[in-house]
Chain A
Amino acid sequence: MLAQLTSPKFLRAALPAASFTILLAAIFYVQPRAMSYFGMNLMLQYTVPIALATIAQMFIITVNDLDLSIGAFVGLTACIGATLLADTPVLGVLALTACVAAYAGLGALIHWRNLPSIVVTLGMSFVWLGIAVLILPTPGGTAPGWVKAIMGLKIPYVPFPIVAAIAVGLVVHVALMRSSYGAVLRGAGGNPKAIGRAGWSLLKTKMVMFGAAGFFGVLSGLSLIGLTSAADAHIADRYTLYAIAGVILGGGEFVGGRVSPIGAVIGALTLALTGSFLTFLRISPDWQIGAQGGILILVLALRALINRREG
């Protein structure tokens, strides 16, 4: 039993949940008043958009790519949501669908021309930002009422962000980890050659994964304006790095198709909590980003340590 609990495999799987729990405990110790329905709601309200962006990034990482444009893309969809979708819903839905299709197209381009995804998505991040600025030159707009209504849901006993994050994690878990095509998609990250040899289209797997990432990017943008009720082209610039950090914190790896949707959601929750934790410690906002990076390095160092024991 003890041997099983200290095995690298178990430790690696438990690390995301453990770091989240430890961080939560530390917050409750520093600020006992946070241990309430209202406190939790406040601390975790931004986890839903971060978790959705993290899931989007996780899809990309599953097929051994990296998306450096997810932040700008979430910003764009937020701008579309606060303008087109609110004013002319049909046009808004069309625009958001086009965004998802563009993402799938990027996946096809990356596979077809064998391009490095980092370069393509870095370039696209400026494209997304440019379009967002064209749509909404100054911060403003209004989120559609139904989006605000969903994000403002009050669920008894458990704060809405936690329920939403768990729901997102479970849905993606079933789709990617339990479904039969999900196995093929993950296999395309683990050994693309083998998947090709077994007769599957690698182009299709790339397009499906990028399309799914685009879809979750759209959801992330909408949930974000549901909280802020207005949008700005730069509203989600930090999400690019949050999303990568969330996937890695959640036990995913950059290559090899080893990812965990539940872990990624927990990683996003952890990231959202670090901000609150540092505020409770009265660390000035100037230092917060650096301190957040410090926590990240600490957790990832722990994982590297576990992996070394395994090797």
Chain B
Amino acid sequence: MTVAANNIVTLENVAKHFGAVRALDGVDLTVDTGECLGLVGHNGAGKSTLMNVLAGTLTPDRGVMGIHGKDLSGQYSVKVAGENGIRCVFQELSLCPNLTVAENARIFHPSLTGFGWKRRAGRMILAKLDEIFPGHGIQPDDVVGDLSIGKRQMVEIARAFTTTDAPLHLVILDEPTSSLDAVTAGQLLDFVRKVVGQDMSCILISHVLGEVLDYSDRIVVMKDGLVVAARPGKDFTRDSLVAAMGNVVEMDEIQEHDAFEIKRGRTPIVIEAKADGGRDSAPFVAHRGEIIGLAGLASHGQTRMLLRIYDAAMKRSRSTKVEGPVALVAGDRQTDGVFHLWSIAQNIGIRSLPGMVKRGLIDPLAEAAMGREWQERIKIKTPDMNDNILSLSGGNQQKALFARALASDAEIILMDDPMRGVDIGTKLEVYDLIREEAEKGRTFLWYTTETDELYNCDHTYVFRDGVIVADLPRDELSEEKILHSSFKESA
């Protein structure tokens, strides 16, 4: 292995798989001394996994990890990372909410012990906060749980830059500005430029492309667990960055779906809702028989919108109008979907129980009949519908959940990214089924993280920070447009 002396980190062919998911599939990455490296990519591109590998919290399955020119593969851990001056500010905050700011600083520094440690820790974190975020208004003895989310993030960032005995070489910032306002985000990014000038290095991961373009010396683009582009920051423009992140859309796919007519306006409105942003947001409208896509980066308010519609259907709501009964197809099968101890038939019948009651009890014959009917229609591969639901493969379990929703009286079907971890054969079958049911007049709201699936939709709403930022009819839909609206113009 050849390692230049001024490299802090050299990764070669690093891979990490979680079951069948290839989170990292052979990544090469170097970080030089005194550079700010921007890292961008779509959801699930592998950025966070890569950062966890660097921070020592995940061990890669294979690959070479060189730190300061030494080959440390196989013996890397959180502790080794700390000793080599590598720190990470994780996306989900890692402060202890029950401790004070000073105590949280102490957690990071094993050497802060002895008499008066609290005062020393408090002074250290306060000095760093003053340096990065002047006018922050945080006291060292504030309990973190009482601070606002933005202030917590400021504490976490400042903590990563504090030093005691070990020198600091590289700070990884994973979505550092997600909870900061424009002013503090600017303070942070200016500070990053300043420390980079003092021969420290930073990795900046952000969905705000403007930040990455303006503040990075070099930008690395990841997709599907691979590095697909790595060039100096000034060689990228917003458009070329988006293009590097996205997929090339297969044209056949689009043409195949063009056979659909656009129904908007010809059928009555069944759903009218507003997103969180209130006035800023476009209204969410669904007509009868439409398939509506909910797109955008993960957890930007899509699931919340589905749940709001579900709530509104269960009990009247003033702000949300829903006409007709609804059913939800859960995405997280194991937690929100299947009843683990029940048979397949029981799992399908649960949504339709009121129609299967005979003299106050569930009619087992009706339940079995419904199970058989849907086994036939949706092709659930099992010898016996009375077998336990967990005897099915993941894809077939998901089919059973679709059957539960479709067998019910629901006219509106909400789908919360239901195709996670489902094989392509099952997907195509379910797509056909959805289109068939939509033609019969059912309305589908479909949140998906897979852009290809959106080509099944008549209309796609793109969410960002809980707000609908784009409303794309089928003929205007393209991955590039979705990406463009998913990422902020600037901070």
B interface footprint on A188-228 (CB within 8 Å = 1, 0 otherwise): 01110111111110000000000000000000000000000
Choose among A9, A178, A195, A258 the residue that contacts B107 (Cβ–Cβ < 8 A): A195
Q: How far is the CA of A193 from the CA of B108 in the complex (A)?
A: 13
Most chain A beta-carbon contacts within 10 A, residue among B57, B88, B103: B103
Q: Are the C-beta atoms of B94 and A187 separated by less than 8 Å?
A: no
Q: How far is the CA of A258 from the CA of B98 in the complex (A)?
A: 6
Given A187-B96, A190-B96, A190-B98, A180–B78 Cβ distance below 8 Å? Answer: no
Residues of B128-161 contacting chain A, CB below 8 A: 145-146
Count of A-B contacts judged by CB separation below 8 Å: 67
Q: Are the C-beta atoms of A257 and B108 separated by less than 8 Å?
A: no
Q: Does A130 contact B (CB under 8 A)?
A: no
Q: Are the C-beta atoms of A191 and B79 separated by less than 8 Å?
A: no
Choose among B99, B113, B114 the residue that contacts A186 (Cβ–Cβ < 8 A): B99
Q: How far is the CA of A189 from the CA of B98 in the complex (A)?
A: 8
Give the shortest distance, in Å, between B48 (CB) and chain A (any CB).
13
Q: Does A181 contact B (CB under 8 A)?
A: yes
Most chain B beta-carbon contacts within 10 A, residue among A9, A180, A190: A180
Give the shortest distance, in Å, between B243 (CB) and chain A (any CB).
35
A62 nearest CB neighbor, chain B only: B98
Note all chain A residues with C-beta closer than 8 A to B286: none
Residues of B245-262 contacting chain A, CB below 8 A: none
Choose among B108, B117, B118 the residue that contacts A198 (Cβ–Cβ < 8 A): B108
Note all chain B residues with C-beta closer than 8 A to A186: 96, 98-99, 103
Q: Are the C-beta atoms of A187 and B103 separated by less than 8 Å?
A: yes
Choose among B77, B94, B98 the residue that contacts A257 (Cβ–Cβ < 8 A): B98
Residues of B447-471 contacting chain A, CB below 8 A: none
Choose among A9, A180, A191 the residue that contacts B96 (Cβ–Cβ < 8 A): A191
Q: Does A183 contact B (CB under 8 A)?
A: yes
B interface footprint on A249-274 (CB within 8 Å = 1, 0 otherwise): 00000001110000000000000000
Q: How far is the CA of A187 from the CA of B117 in the complex (A)?
A: 16
Most chain B beta-carbon contacts within 10 A, residue among A184, A199, A256: A199
Given A178-B118, A180-B112, A197–B90 Cβ distance below 8 Å? Answer: yes
What band does the interface of chain B fall in when counting residues whose beta carbon is under 8 Å from A? 20 to 34
Note all chain B residues with C-beta closer than 8 A to A197: 55, 57, 78, 88, 90, 94
Give the shortest distance, in Å, between B94 (CB) and chain A (any CB).
4
Q: Are the C-beta atoms of A191 and B113 separated by less than 8 Å?
A: no
Q: Does B360 contact A (CB under 8 A)?
A: no
B102 nearest CB neighbor, chain A only: A183
A256 nearest CB neighbor, chain B only: B98
Note all chain B residues with C-beta closer than 8 A to A199: 77-79, 82, 110
Q: Are the C-beta atoms of B94 and A194 separated by less than 8 Å?
A: yes
A interface footprint on B46-59 (CB within 8 Å = 1, 0 otherwise): 00000000010100
Q: Are the C-beta atoms of B107 and A187 separated by less than 8 Å?
A: yes
Q: Does B278 contact A (CB under 8 A)?
A: no
Q: How far is the CA of A199 from the CA of B57 in the complex (A)?
A: 9
B114 nearest CB neighbor, chain A only: A180
B98 nearest CB neighbor, chain A only: A190
Give the shortest distance, in Å, between B32 (CB) and chain A (any CB).
25
Given A187-B99, A196-B78, A197-B78, A180–B106 Cβ distance below 8 Å? Answer: yes
Q: Are the C-beta atoms of A200 and B107 separated by less than 8 Å?
A: yes
Q: How far is the CA of A198 from the CA of B79 in the complex (A)?
A: 8
Q: Are the C-beta atoms of B99 and A193 separated by less than 8 Å?
A: no
Choose among A178, A181, A183, A196 the residue that contacts B99 (Cβ–Cβ < 8 A): A183
Q: How far is the CA of A195 from the CA of B113 in the complex (A)?
A: 16
A interface footprint on B97-129 (CB within 8 Å = 1, 0 otherwise): 111000110111010111001100000000000
Q: Does B95 contact A (CB under 8 A)?
A: yes
Q: How far is the CA of A190 from the CA of B144 in the complex (A)?
A: 11
A257 nearest CB neighbor, chain B only: B98
Most chain B beta-carbon contacts within 10 A, residue among A181, A196, A198: A198
Note all chain A residues with C-beta closer than 8 A to B108: 198
Q: How far is the CA of A148 from the CA of B213 in the complex (A)?
A: 75
Q: How far is the CA of A258 from the CA of B88 in the complex (A)?
A: 26
Q: Are the C-beta atoms of A190 and B113 separated by less than 8 Å?
A: no
Given A180-B106, A180-B113, A183-B103, A195–B90 Cβ distance below 8 Å? Answer: no
B97 nearest CB neighbor, chain A only: A190
Q: How far is the CA of A85 from the CA of B289 in the complex (A)?
A: 81
Most chain A beta-carbon contacts within 10 A, residue among B77, B104, B107, B108: B107
Give the shortest distance, in Å, between A56 (CB) and chain B (any CB).
20
Give the shortest distance, in Å, between A175 (CB) and chain B (any CB).
13
Given A193-B94, A194-B94, A196-B78, A187–B104 Cβ distance below 8 Å? Answer: yes
Choose among B55, B97, B110, B114 the residue that contacts A191 (Cβ–Cβ < 8 A): B97
Q: How far is the CA of A88 from the CA of B73 in the complex (A)?
A: 55
Q: How far is the CA of A180 from the CA of B114 in the complex (A)?
A: 7
Given A183-B106, A183-B107, A197-B57, A256–B82 Cβ distance below 8 Å? Answer: no
Give the shortest distance, in Å, between A261 (CB) and chain B (any CB).
14
Note all chain A residues with C-beta closer than 8 A to B145: 190
Residues of B193-213 contacting chain A, CB below 8 A: none
Given A183-B106, A199-B82, A191–B118 Cβ distance below 8 Å? Answer: no
A195 nearest CB neighbor, chain B only: B107
Give the shortest distance, in Å, between B398 (CB) and chain A (any CB).
28
Other A-B contacts than A190-B96, A199-B77, A200-B110, 7 sampled, CB-CB below 8 A, are A180-B106, A183-B106, A184-B106, A186-B103, A191-B94, A194-B96, A197-B55
A-B contact pairs, 29 of them (CB 8 A): A180-B113, A180-B114, A180-B117, A181-B113, A183-B99, A183-B107, A184-B107, A186-B96, A186-B98, A186-B99, A186-B103, A187-B96, A189-B98, A190-B98, A191-B94, A191-B97, A194-B96, A195-B96, A195-B107, A197-B88, A198-B94, A198-B107, A199-B78, A199-B110, A200-B110, A256-B98, A257-B96, A257-B99, A258-B98
The 8 closest A-B pairs by CB, nearest first: A190-B96, A194-B94, A190-B98, A187-B96, A183-B103, A191-B96, A180-B113, A257-B98
Interface residues of B (CB under 8 A from A): 55, 57, 77-79, 82, 88, 90, 94-99, 103-104, 106-108, 110, 112-114, 117-118, 145-146
